[in-house]
């Protein structure tokens, strides 16, 4: 179970890394830093945190497969939800409804917060006997 989630999270982190680097390149080339908060969150949450979680699951065996799955899904939904919600809320593309954008942002961030909480619990649920 951990190997599957490790690969999923690392692949998602790689996608976030490419998007974040692309945004950074765009900002540097255009001289406009309008995307700066989104760029930072894509790299810190999407690249760094998601990659770290993927590596954790590569190194450790967790006693509860359901906990790993719950953390993995909240990590995916929360990291995407927060960064897309931040983009919608900050830039209002496509004339998106302001309330919708704010709710999307808040819900994404809340799910990500739950993911961080589940990860804390996960770190206390490692199988020290069956270590990889």
- Tell me which residue range forms the domain holding 61: 1-125
**Considering the domain boundaries, does residue 91 fall inside one?**
yes
Residue pair 50/12 in contact (Cβ under 8 Å)? The answer is yes
**Considering the domain boundaries, does residue 131 fall inside one?**
no
**Considering the domain boundaries, does residue 90 fall inside one?**
yes
Per-residue pLDDT tens over the stretch 68-112: 999 999 999 999 999 999 999 999 999 999 999 999 999 999 999
Domain count, the chain: 1
Structure tokens at 129: 């006997």
More confident residue, 132 or 60: 60
**Considering the domain boundaries, does residue 132 fall inside one?**
no
**Considering the domain boundaries, does residue 33 fall inside one?**
yes
Q: The pTM is what?
A: 0.91
Phi, psi at 126, each rounded to 5°: -75, 150
**Considering the domain boundaries, does residue 19 fall inside one?**
yes
Give the separation between CA 57 and CA 61, rounded to whole angstroms.
7
Give the separation between CA 63 and CA 56, rounded to whole angstroms.
14
b/e sequence 73-101, b meaning 16+ C-beta within 10 Å: ebbbbbbbbbbbbbbbbeeeeeeeeeeeb
Q: Does 131 score more than 60 pLDDT?
A: no
Residue 130: the pLDDT is: 57
**Considering the domain boundaries, does residue 130 fall inside one?**
no
């Amino acid at each position: 179970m951990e190997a599957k989630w490790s690969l999923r999270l690392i692949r998602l982190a790689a996608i976030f890394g490419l998007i974040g680097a692309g945004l950074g390149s765009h900002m540097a080339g255009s001289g406009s830093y309008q995307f700066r908060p989104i760029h930072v969150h894509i790299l810190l949450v999407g690249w760094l945190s998601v990659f770290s979680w993927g590596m954790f699951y590569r190194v450790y065996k967790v006693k509860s497969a359901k906990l790993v799955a719950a953390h993995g899904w909240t990590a995916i939904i929360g990291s995407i939800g927060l960064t897309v919600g931040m983009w919608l809320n900050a830039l209002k593309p496509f004339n998106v409804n302001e309330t919708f954008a704010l709710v999307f942002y808040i819900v994404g961030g809340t799910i990500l917060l739950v993911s961080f909480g589940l990860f804390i619990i996960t770190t206390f649920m490692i199988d020290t006997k069956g270590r990889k």
